[in-house]
Homo-oligomer: A and B are copies of this chain.
Amino acid sequence: MSTVIFSLRSAADGDRLMLPLVRRTREPHLGMWALPGGWLDVAENLDDAAARTLAETTALAPSYLEQLYTFGDVDRAPSRTISIVYWALLRSDLVDAQRAVADAPENVEWFDVDALPELAFDHRRIAEYALWRLRNKVGYSRIAAGLLPDAFTLTELREVYEAVLGRRLDPSNFRRLLEGSDELVPTDSFRTGKHRPARLYRYNADA
């Protein structure tokens, strides 16, 4: 059981979509980077097991978690193993907060989704499939919220979309689209910064 975990991490050129990998501590593929994972307990359902193994790597609860695919090719490993793969989103503020209190765990490192190292097994293909699914899903669902704190400005949300999709979006059209849907509710707070303050929104819990 493995999980492709996505979060945003700030880089020189704005936020980048990144995912954590772990260095393998045993054969096969000893020393190579791989998706975090673990083994399924007997009395645990699949979603719980995915959340648990994810927490063992990140010490965090995911804001979004979905089954991706089950792989079971015969030549995937020396003997065939079934691998149930999930994908998840982590709020970037929680990842940063976690970083502040605890040292980065040994053997875990975050990589830009556009600059992954060589991966063990068929994990690269799996990561790319998860990325494809995330990009798709961002288009027609509200999951982008899973990468942000509770309240956020429309610009921050747009930047999430841009980081995920890898292309720029028109700010005014983005605003209309999201304001027109009932996915967002405006709050009375504003984010004050260098320029005109921007209204904070939060996702509509019952939409």
Q: Which residues of A are interface residues toward B (Cβ below 8 A)?
A: 40, 42-46, 67, 69-74, 79-80, 82, 84
Please state if A70 and B67 are interface contacts (CB–CB under 8 Å).
yes
Interface of A is mostly: loop
Option from B46, B74, B79, B84 in Cβ contact (under 8 Å) with A44: B74
C-alpha gap A73/B84 in the complex (Å) = 14
Copies in the complex: 2
Say how far A100's CB is from chain B's closest CB, in angstroms.
Answer: 36
Residues of B within 8 A of A46 (CB): 70-73, 82
A75 — nearest CB in chain B belongs to which residue?
B45
Q: Which residues of chain B have C-beta atoms less than 8 A from A82's C-beta?
A: 46, 82, 84
Give Cα distance in the complex from A42 to B73, angstroms: 10
Report the minimum CB–CB distance from A46 to chain B (whole Å): 4
Q: Could you give 8 example pairs across A and B, Cβ below 8 Å?
A: A43-B80, A45-B80, A46-B73, A67-B69, A67-B70, A70-B84, A72-B84, A82-B84
Question: Please, which residues of chain B bring their CB within 8 A of the CB of A79?
Answer: 42
